[in-house]
Amino acid sequence: MKKDLNYIAALEKAISEKYGDEAIFHPKANWTPEKEVAYLEETKEAFAKELQNRRSSEVIENDGVLVTKKLISKTINRSCKYCKKYSFKNRDDVYLVKFNCCELCYLDRKEEK
């Protein structure tokens, strides 16, 4: 394929008239080593934030219920603040962490409203 330099020049001229002179510059024309270092640092920070968000939003199945990993804590108060019963059920873990009550108390309170 033979390149028509007149056509390319006319095309560049039309683009620069429509979108401005910045549209026809090569992307590396204004790139410096300092900008490269800053870009790499920004990329590392963005990746670290993305990784942290992925870890905090991991979903775990807990006794048939899908729960995000951040809702499940190792130190959980297993006593309901309403009925004062100590719960051994895994399903109550979700309600105790999120609503500070067992599943039955949560359902009773929800029906009252």
- String of DSSP letters for the chain: ----HHHHHHHHHHHHHHH-GGGGS-GGGG--HHHHHHHHHHHHHHHHHHHHHHHHT-EEEETTEEEEGGG--SS---B-TTT--B---SHHHHHHHHHSS-HHHHHHHHHH-
Name the residue with tokens 């790139």.
31
Q: What is the mean pLDDT of the chain?
A: 83
pLDDT at residue 49, as a whole number: 92
Q: Identify the residue with better confidence: 111 or 34.
A: 34
pLDDT at residue 3, as a whole number: 78
pTM listed for this prediction:
0.38
Is the pLDDT confidence value at 103 over 70?
yes
CA–CA separation, 91 and 58 (whole Å): 18
Domain ranges, ordered by start, for the chain: 73-113
Give helix 91-99 / helix 103-112 axis angle, nearest 10°. Answer: 60
Is the pLDDT confidence value at 1 over 60?
no
Query: Could you report the per-residue pLDDT of 25-71, keeping only the tens digit for each?
Result: 888 888 899 999 999 999 999 999 998 887 777 777 766 777 777 66
C-beta of residue 77 within 8 angstroms of C-beta of residue 96? yes
